[in-house]
Amino acid sequence: MAHKIGFIGLGIMGQRMLNSMADHKDFEAVLAWDPSPEAMTALASDRPAIRQAASAEALIADPEVECVYIASPPKSHLAYAMASFDAGKAVFCEKPLAVDLAEAGQVTARAQEEGRKAVINFPFASSLAGSAIQEAIAQGSLGRIQQVEIQVAFAKWPRGWQEGAAGWLARREEGGFTREVLSHFLFLTRRTLGPLSIRAVKVDYPDDGKSAETGIEAEMRAGEVPVRLIGRVEGEKDDHNRWTITGDKGALRISDWMTLERFGESGWQPVDLGPGELRPRSVRNQLDQLSLMLKGKPHRLASFEEGYAVQSCVEALLGQHSTA
């Protein structure tokens, strides 16, 4: 029987998840809500089988909903997650858990203490490239890990396809590319190598006192491994990123979210991750893991504890809080 999912938020992320779950036999989107009348009208036209909730609160309380997927702006995540726990529902939440780090710690502690089914949407937790890297490290094919380098660059921020959410993504209160993009690579680094700590950091902000960062450079550690982080709003591509791990026996890197390459005698060469397009296969892996979580079985998705640790690091990088 398919898991019944309620959707809070029908922006870009919500639409992508709707499309992904529509192609997976284990899921059925049964109810949705968005504060935008235009979004709800489009839902009625495009997906008439999905019922429309009168409010987020009504969606959470609906007895048919097994799991609440939260894809609304960050300020609302905490309240919706807490209300979902109150209603006995599982939670699949976009990051971060909350805007305020102390409140993120509260919802994390509750999820842990009450044994809630609750995960954060960090796709590297189940991606093909991420899994291959963890396997390579476990098998020792990279030797002793010497360093990690994270590089991201954007032609502009927010990216072109994020214009509908530019109101909060462009502001330093809850937006910026460090929170929105670098957090994914920090999650991958932490899960692969261990807890994150910051040795030095420099962040560039516009002079208006409101806009999100335009650049960041940091020297970090993941466990005992040095990590170099560079991010900048400048470049030709709307979104270019690269995560490179180097050992004394070789190196691997993920480029533009999906492509895995290994460094050898002929330079960087693609790693064969099997037949088929990488993105849909990675998305299916992610939903397979979500199904396991909802069944109470072991899974690889990111826990609230991992989400809180990543958020703590991000806010420390941005000068908001001490790292944890």
Query: Tens place of pLDDT for every residue, the chain, 324 residues?
Result: 899 999 999 999 999 999 999 999 999 999 999 999 999 999 999 999 999 999 999 999 999 999 999 999 999 999 999 999 999 999 999 999 999 999 999 999 999 999 999 999 999 999 999 999 999 999 999 999 999 999 999 999 988 888 777 888 999 988 999 999 999 999 999 999 999 999 999 999 999 999 999 999 999 999 999 999 999 998 777 789 999 999 999 999 999 999 999 998 889 999 999 999 999 999 999 999 999 999 999 999 999 999 999 999 999 999 964 444
Interior/surface letters 132-145, b for 16+ CB within 10 angstroms, e for the rest: bbbebbeeeebeeb
134 within some domain = yes
Are 113 and 157 contained in the same domain? no
Supply the range of the domain harboring residue 32: 3-120
Are 188 and 212 contained in the same domain? yes
Instruction: Report the CATH number at residue 25.
Output: 3.40.50.720
Q: Are 157 and 169 in contact (CB under 8 A)?
A: yes
Are 171 and 69 contained in the same domain? no
Domain stops at, among 77, 93, 120? 120
Domain stops at, among 59, 90, 120? 120
Q: Which of 126, 318, 152 is nearest to 230 (CA)?
A: 152
pTM, entire model: 0.94
Are 110 and 180 contained in the same domain? no
Are 175 and 246 contained in the same domain? yes
Domain stops at, among 94, 120, 146? 120
Are 55 and 148 contained in the same domain? no
